[in-house]
Amino acid sequence: MTFATDAALDAAPEAAPGAAPDIAYAKLNLALHVRSRGEDGYHVLETLFAFCTDGDRLTLEDEPGLRLEGPFAAALSGEGDNLVTRAAREWAALFGGAQAGFRLEKNLPIASGIGGGSADAAAALRLLAARDGIDPADPRVHAIAAGLGADVPACVLSRAARGEGRGEQLVPVSLGRLTGQPVLLVNPGIALSTGAVFKAWDRIDRGALPQGVDAALEGRNDLEAPAVSLVPEIGDVLDLLGAQPGLLFARMSGSGATCFALFEDEAARDAAAAALPACWWRLATRLRP
């Protein structure tokens, strides 16, 4: 797998609304507490969402459909439908007009706990909102996003937020001293089913998520243990990250298998990236404000 070098937080201004491409920012769950499983089968969560400065890149096109490129394009080839095309279809059904097409540069691994598909769908909704002059915070946009997946509303925001319910009930928060922190994302190259991880959760409520930035520092990921039971290599990633100099903390994101590590500075992060096995995917980046 390829090594992605760091993109500085202020290397370039963000694209103006409506301009292409839009970055589908990699999503992190800095902490994820699973509190219960409802009678409807959905799990009640408390999580602290954060986003990285890098991710997939999505371009709005006139011709319907989805054109794929990038290092993980092959993983999506053959899919007749995915969250981006579903987002375009739902948008056209609600707001009218022709169904849009997109070009997706797939830089993030799929089924990896960093919101790749959800972030792509969210970027599609932002692009369509800019094209049609609709506020992305419009409740109708939120309804489309929530219907596509529990993480999609947070990915539309793509800013730090506390998520509750299934993760779609959002309250924006400040990351405080963690804003802009160097972070390393690492995946052992194994796709992991979200459903399988939740099924393996032991249904023990280990307590509420702390408030504010303490949620990141004092929280946990309740899906980490069941994910490791399914993919032991996740434990290997966490062990190696945990031994690196300059580490603030390391944890698994979402339902895995991607893990992340926050470091004191870029030099420590980049040294850790160089120490990893070459077969592991990694992304050296920073946390968005």
For 212-221, give one letter per residue: b (16+ CB within 10 A) or e. ebebbeebbb
Q: Is the peptide bond before 21 cis (omega within 30 degrees of 0)?
A: yes
Of 110, 130, 106, nearest to 24 by C-alpha is 106
pLDDT band at residue 98, thresholds of 50, 70 and 90?
Answer: confident
pLDDT digits (tens, 9 = 90+) for 110-157: 989 999 999 999 999 999 999 999 999 999 999 999 999 999 999 999
| SS3 state at 18 | coil
pLDDT of residue 214: 84
Angle at 37 between CA 233 and CA 256, to 5 degrees: 20
Token pair recorded at residue 125 = 């909704």
* Cα torsion angle, 134, 140, 144, 149, sign: positive
222, with CB counted inside 10 A (0-12, 13-18, 19+), is: buried
**pTM confidence score:** 0.90
Active site residues: 27, 151
Q: What is the mean pLDDT of residues 157-171?
A: 95
- Among the residues of the chain, which ranges form H helices? 83-95, 116-132, 139-148, 152-157, 194-200, 214-218, 224-230, 233-242, 266-274
Q: Structural domains in the chain?
A: 3-7+18-172 (3.30.230.10), 176-286 (3.30.70.890)
> Residue 221 forms beta bridges with which residues?
32
> Which of 4-18, 82-96, 136-150 is the least confident region?
4-18
Q: Torsion angle of alpha carbons 80, 85, 90, 95, nearest 10°?
A: -140
Q: Are the beta carbons of 224 and 252 closer than 8 angstroms?
A: yes
